[in-house]
Amino acid sequence: MKIVAAGASTGGPQALAAFLSGLPAGFHRPVLVVQHMAPGFTRGLADWLGKITPLRVKIGTQGEPLSGGTVYIAPEGTHMVLNRSGDSLRFSDGPPLHMVRPSVSMLFRSVAEVYGRDSAALLFSGMGADGAEELKQLRNLGAATFAQDRESSVVWGMPGEAVRLEGAEHVGPPSVLAAILSGMAAGSSNRAETTDNGERR
Residues that are catalytic? 9, 36, 130
How many other C-beta atoms lie within 10 A of the C-beta of residue 92? Answer: 14
From CA 123, how far away is CA 145, in angstroms rounded?
8
DSSP summary character for residue 179: H
Q: Which of 157, 158, 155 is nearest to 145 (CA)?
A: 158
Q: Which of 139, 131, 116, 119 is nearest to 161 (CA)?
A: 131
- Cβ proximity of 101 and 7 under 8 Å: no
Q: Which helix (H) or strand (E) holds 15?
A: helix 12-21
